[in-house]
Chain A
């Protein structure tokens, strides 16, 4: 007998789906903003930072970029309580995303910083700016302009990667799909629906990042 598709069955669980979408949005909103901030700090530390900080940041970047996200997540959620650090699954998920995105964006932004001609920094210093001021006002904006598309892609990847947070019972979108599938056994419909929602969210996020880029990264400051 042929399989009877029943997409309406998934809509019995609309509240689970809506909650899942909102949780995924929350994860990427907080994780994305803080993760990029960590990345900018990391890029500064690796290029302009004090000598003692460089090996620490390099170690962090290598450690995170060479281990799976899921293992990092499990370590934070199931491992850290053994050391007395008790955090909720939502905090663990956001922390893991910040740490993960921070490491990747450190490398992406560092590439942008390295692409800025050395003379820019020298000119800024000759105007008696401090190195931090020079980085903040002279280097950062053109560096971000160069790598903004790559950084946008990385943010979208991290958002899609948040799907594994369902493994520690974070009730995000793939948790919702698993939940529905576990109740009505309609795997095709549940996962197709989740796929479509992820696709829509990824496209929206990319458009949003382009708008943010146009408004804050590429636009000249009116002054």
Chain B
């Protein structure tokens, strides 16, 4: 009698544990703990870097804080590198990866992604008075680019023969050539364009057209539908009310593109 009661109790207990394991849900766990753990970069400005007093700063950090605020929990920032950010997620050391991560087929096999939250692209940039909307308009223009970069290789393929491409040794040369009017346009990443804008030059590089687009997505573990839906809902909300756009203006110098 006593023994059967004990067995019953054990079985019930085991059942309870097993169901609680099976139904463990990342979103519930976050609410229970009151903390959202986010993997953020610390060596990739303007997405994530550390200030002189060792505080993390950057677009990814602000987005992480904003999402935690919307969830009603505190944020815990965990610095990662681009090599270890996915393992951190898989071993459940973090709930989300907000680390300027692009979506590709290999990553989609092991983790899930939410909607995109930030633009990351290579394109042709130029001041407002340059009327350029596609590769064909580059005829007769001089475009600065960093030699051997992705944008150099792509631009060399798509530029018409009438365009003059000036290839500089590094990004600083490309930036200087643009600022000193040696070239009319530059082909570079939006992060570099943001760095030019941050210097507050007399002519501001505006996006003319995209060469290669690979926006940033938030990564989370597979089969966390509730968390994925919740983060997507938050992203939709902050996109709609302009909060996310304000952050991209702050860190990248340009509003959130319409296609995100």
Q: State the A residues within 8 Å of B (CB).
A: 77-79, 81-82, 86, 88-89, 166-169, 175, 178-179, 181-183
Contact = CB atoms under 8 A, between A and B. Distances in A.
A183 B148 contact: yes
A157 to B, nearest CB: 22
Contacts of B144: 169
B173 A182 contact: no
B182 A89 contact: yes
A179 B180 contact: no
Nearest to B173: A167
B168 interface: yes
The interface residues of chain B, by DSSP majority, are classed as mixed
B122 to A, nearest CB: 16
Contacts of B91: none
Contacts of B166: 89, 169
Interface residues of B, number: 15
Given A78-B180, A169-B168, 4 more contacts: A81-B182, A88-B182, A167-B169, A179-B167
A77 B182 contact: yes
Interface string B159-195: 0000000111100010011001110000000000000
A78 B147 contact: no
B149 to A, nearest CB: 9
18 contacts: A77-B180, A78-B176, A78-B177, A78-B182, A79-B180, A88-B182, A89-B182, A166-B169, A167-B168, A167-B173, A168-B173, A168-B177, A175-B167, A178-B147, A179-B147, A181-B148, A182-B147, A183-B148
A181 B168 CA distance: 14
The interface residues of chain A, by DSSP majority, are classed as helix
Contact of B180 (A81, A175, A182): A81
A171 to B, nearest CB: 8
The listed residue with most B CB atoms (<10 A of its CB), out of A78, A79, A88, A183, is: A78
Nearest to B156: A183
Contacts of A181: 148
Interface in B109-126: none
Interface string B131-143: 0000000000000
Nearest to A79: B180
A86 B173 CA distance: 16
A81 B148 CA distance: 26
A52 to B, nearest CB: 34
Contacts of B167: 169, 175, 179
Contacts of A179: 147, 167
B151 interface: no
